[in-house]
A and B are shown apart, each in its own frame.
Chain A
């Protein structure tokens, strides 16, 4: 897709603040051992041939830049195009509804005016899915829509996602929070570039609004059509959905769907050796990342890279992130242990399946 560029808004965080998102934006939240959430938005774009992607940054962008670097792991270190790091408009991370804040887009108008592309794909970093955006773009061109939004029918109530009112495939209303059976927005859409620039003029005076909020009185003029995505989707806006979206991947059918051979999910590569399952280790129903060394017992758990589970330690139904050490005899259960923590010998970190415990990132 030479004539399409991408833009990812990374400056939207989770409404419900947790220790996980105190220290980092949602975009760089570790996911399924070795990934970060933004990998999915980036990979979806790159996998369909987009080679120009802008990322609108939050103020605490260190972890995102550390992760994406020059963009080379996504083939975004291009002579022309490639990765553009764009400033967000506000000092801070929006925790309200806006995902595509007009002000963020208008402030980076040059990114859009300097492009000669036909269209722009937008995405946030809060949704995990692996879609063929070429199909979306084909549908977009075929229908002649101004904007095509990727949607899925909500299988449960989610107060944090955006929902559309749809008639015959055309959007006629937008509201925040989706109920069961409503049309849930996956925060990913394609818009004709010239129209986007026109919208900057139309909606400029209300640049404190989200692009779709601004459009909401205008659905008669702007033809916004839906594209139904039928694969696995995980919206990640709070601790519960984050935990579940990780655990979902212990089902090989979902893993196969999210990591198909034809559209691999790219991420920062590291030189870590394979995981070592030592003599006497006991691991069941878990995901184990490179560099892990397991001497103890692990079940129903996602381990990040370079985690050490010492002999006699037990980890159950948990997420243990990169660089943690669970010392001999320690127990971790129903917990999310953020990076670089040492769980001392003989101690316990225990939440409940309904309310998992979060051990914040080590300050060291």
Chain B
């Protein structure tokens, strides 16, 4: 294989357990988002748009749908000879096999993939974040700083800082302190979990960490503190723009709603940095004679005969006559039958709300209602 300047390792093995019913049968990166996309589209499109054409995707939890969705990588122009997308699940060797334990361990187990490609730099990504970023610009920063590790960072609200890895950096961006999920944060500069390592250092560090009995083999928890301690050159790459880690049902719902309104926080229509997806070929959306649609994203294959307001209707979603859908997300193939009411809810793929049944509540103090994939909600069940 030819020499690559920079390859990406995309961590896509997480279960996303806090997404509950949405990830009961698919991995989090394969969860549908924004009508026609799946969450992993954003990271893969960023790679393609940044000119990174060798991407290892590390998978583990319920991988079938994710694997079939990624396919050859063609949908993201990543079906290249001598590169492209490689799916890297846990595997067995002559001495046995092991599941991926922690983010760093997953990469450690695939050092062979990195060594085969022999890159100068390795970009570590999560497959479950929504943002547009030019990784090439981040790489330029890394090279300019002659850094060993560059971490993409953005300021977060102080009250949320304790959910993130928090950094302190000097004026030049050199990192002096890193604390994973601090109880009392002294900075609001958060790591986005996007790293560029100089490849040799990464390989060396991971090999060492693998032998450390006390390590949990996590980039944030173990690798970054160790490199800081060793006096390595760690720098920040400041990102400004829309970035979300849709880790929970409420953040998934909130982030979905961010796509709506007159000036959405995240503009999926922007022609620069297009978000590519492996979409199915479905006919245009049909809007019925008595339909009302207001402030909605409506995907191909949808049929709307009732009312949809401030909602996202994914591919092949269906809203029957006299049905109402408000402040909700219908995942692909979800059906709201005649006379049913859906408010502040997420309906899983191919789920069904039967006729005249109500799901969800306008009461903001209550949790967003979630119906799992393939679940049928009949009368008296909700």
Residues of chain A at the chain B interface (Cβ within 8 Å): 32-35, 72-73, 249-250, 252, 255, 259, 264-267, 269, 271, 273-281, 283-291, 293, 302-303
Contact = CB atoms under 8 A, between A and B. Distances in A.
B277 interface: yes
A264 B281 contact: yes
A289 B298 contact: no
3 smallest CB-CB distances across A and B, nearest first, come from A274-B35, A33-B284, A274-B299
B295 A290 contact: no
Nearest to A283: B287
Given A280-B294, A283-B293, A290-B36, A275 B285 contact: yes
A123 B253 CA distance: 48
Nearest to B262: A279
B34 interface: yes
A290 B299 contact: yes
Given A271-B277, A273-B269, A277-B293, A285 B300 contact: no
Most chain A beta carbons < 10 A, residue from B269, B281, B303, B312: B281
Interface string B32-52: 001110000000000000000
24 contacts: A32-B284, A33-B283, A34-B283, A249-B283, A252-B288, A252-B303, A259-B282, A264-B282, A271-B276, A273-B268, A274-B299, A275-B297, A277-B298, A278-B262, A279-B262, A283-B293, A284-B288, A285-B287, A286-B286, A289-B284, A289-B285, A291-B269, A293-B269, A303-B284
B183 interface: no
A124 B284 CA distance: 24
Contacts of B378: none
Main secondary structure of the interface of B (DSSP, over half): loop
Contacts of B282: 259, 264
Given A274-B312, A277-B297, 11 more contacts: A32-B283, A264-B280, A269-B279, A271-B274, A274-B298, A276-B269, A279-B262, A283-B293, A287-B284, A287-B286, A288-B284
Contacts of A252: 286, 288, 303
Nearest to B305: A252
B112 interface: no
Nearest to B41: A271
Given A32-B284, A259-B283, A269-B281, A275 B34 contact: no
Given A283-B287, A283-B291, A275 B298 contact: yes
A302 B288 contact: no
Contacts of B275: 271, 273
